[in-house]
Amino acid sequence: MRQLLLTGALVAGLVTQGVTPSTAVAQTAPATPRAVSAAPRPLLVTVDDLPVAGSAGHGDGALRMSTTNALLATLKKHGIHAVAFVIAGNLKSDWDRAMLQRWLDEGHELGSHTNTHANLTEKTSEAYLADMAAAQATLTAFLQPKGRTLRWFRYPYLNEGDTREKAEAVRRWLAEHGQRTVPVTLDLSDWAFDEPWAKAAASADSAAMDLVREDYLAAIRTTVTTSEERADAVLKRRAPQVLLLHANSVGAANWDRLFTWLERTHRFATADEVMADDTFRELPLDIARNGYGHYDRIGRLQRLEAAKAAVKAVLDAQVSAWNRGDFEAFTSGYAADATYVSPNGLTHGRAAVLDRYRQRYPDAAARGTLSFEVVEVRPFDGLEPDPYGGIAPGRIDSVSLLAKWKLTYTGKPDASGLTLLVFRPRPRNGDGPAWEIVQDASM
Ligand SMILES: [Zn+2]
């Protein structure tokens, strides 16, 4: 929509200069869409695990403060207003509190990352909420003197809970306490580079440091390239981004190069701007034992819905095939090695299933009219590792479908029962349904 409006305005401007609309379009059409899509992409920078993460966290107060100062100087140099997520229980010394004060004084937002970096999958919701409440009390004490409130929250491990009850309890608590979850869309697993970097730096091994730096910068390039392409496909538009970094020593030494590279195609934006985007208004409720990024969640939910629709389509095709007496088409929904189970026994293979149907339902009177009422559909998927040690939801391997079947007859009572179908993806070589039935238990 914005592209059309811009093009229209451009054309209107040229018309007033005496250029005809058709030549204006011819002149501007190739350039305009590229110019618009190449506009820098809004990017919110978020920094996790304050006061200091990784190897730098073990250093003495002065060392931790110098890491903090380096991080803050780089943010300032690039005009970045970050949201920094604090593990409130790690504010143990005066140094830690002074470091946090520096983030605030530099104009960054502070968010809660719980009190103990708690993992929701490993905790009850009661224990998790108590951890969140403790963090809120500590952080509010920092924010209040500046006239600010605690507005942002980030789940440790990006884990939003393995059960619907837990996920909803935490969401309710957040809403009641005026905190919003800031999701992650770009995660280069920067924490994984911190220890190798600290080791190389401690022994002043400049060749080793160069290697870690190269890999760290390659990670951001790979992450941006692959994640943003996936995100745009999921959202069907240019997706705004939220980058996850950690307050660590590899960052203190290398953020300048990282931000310099990002600046070529991104525009550093505030939390208020990025979080106002529609995609973050209602976050997808994706129940999982592990955490992962926002667009991966949306992508996963889209795949689950697509798989459900695809197996229902197989069922719909079976219904119309049955009702026109085409058993060949009806059984084409089965895998060649499918197993069919009924109270009368087992049938192996599509060909045998076809024979069985032909014998039991020889004519229209025996066949009746078939209908299904789907009771539930459950797609099953897995997780796939990314190159840097993170994980993302993977493909859907199978779908089970439970339905009530009914055969309606004229002049005799209806027959009905239940069926449980297990589907697997069909190897794609040509057209036809994407899923096939491997097991059918009908009673
Ligand atoms: Zn964390």
Query: Which tens digits make up the pLDDT trace of 254-263?
Result: 999 999 999 9
How far is ligand 1, taken at its centre, from the CA of residue 119, in Å? Answer: 10
Mean pLDDT for the stretch of residues 274-301: 92
* Number of C-beta neighbours around residue 303 at 10 A: 17
Determine the average pLDDT of the residues in 42-48: 98
Considering only 180-194, 286-300, 387-401, 412-426, which range has the smallest mean pLDDT?
Answer: 387-401
- Mind listing the pLDDT tens digit for each residue in 210-234? 999 999 999 999 999 989 999 999 9
The Å distance, Cα 382 to ligand 1 centre, comes to 23
CA 299 to centroid of ligand 1, rounded, Å: 23
Provide the β-strand partners of residue 348: 339
**Do residues 435 and 307 lie in contact, with contact meaning Cβ atoms separated by under 8 Å?**
yes
Task: Tell how far the Cα of 86 is from the centroid of ligand 1, in angstroms.
Answer: 8
Ligand 1 centroid–CA 142 distance in Å is: 20
In angstroms, rounded to a whole number, what is the distance separating the alpha carbons of residues 396 and 318? 22
Q: How far is the CA of 377 from the centre of ligand 1 (A)?
A: 35
- Bridge partners, residue 369, by sequence: 408
Distance from the alpha carbon of residue 235 to the mean position of ligand 1, in angstroms = 26
Q: Six-digit token pair at 401?
A: 């479908």
Residue 39 has pLDDT above 50, yes or no: yes
SS3 265: coil
Distance 52 CA to ligand 1 centre (A): 11
Beta-bridge partners for 381 = 396
> Which residues, 6+ apart, have CB-to-CB distance to 332 below 8 Å?
321, 350, 432
- Give bridge partners of residue 407 from the DSSP assignment: 370, 415
**Ligand 1 midpoint to CA 188 (Å):** 14
* Mean pLDDT to the nearest integer, 318-346: 95
**pTM, rounded to two decimals:** 0.81
* Ligand 1 centroid from CA 402, angstroms: 40
Q: Among 144-153, 287-296, 360-369, which is the least confidently predicted range?
A: 287-296
Q: What pLDDT, on a 0 to 100 scale, did the predictor assign at position 433?
A: 62
pLDDT digits (tens, 9 = 90+) for 424-437: 998 766 565 689 99
CA distance 322 to 366: 11
Average pLDDT, the chain: 89
Spacing, Cα 110 to ligand 1 middle (Å): 14
According to DSSP, residue 93 is labeled S
Q: Give residue 44 CA to ligand 1 midpoint distance, Å.
A: 17
Q: How far is the CA of 218 from the centre of ligand 1 (A)?
A: 22
pLDDT at 327: 96
Say which residue the tokens 């697993």 belong to.
189
CA of 45 to the centre of ligand 1 (A): 14
Let me know if 402 is exposed, middle or buried by CB neighbors in 10 A (0-12, 13-18, 19+): middle
pLDDT digits (tens, 9 = 90+) for 98-157: 999 999 999 999 999 999 999 999 999 999 999 999 999 999 999 999 999 999 999 999
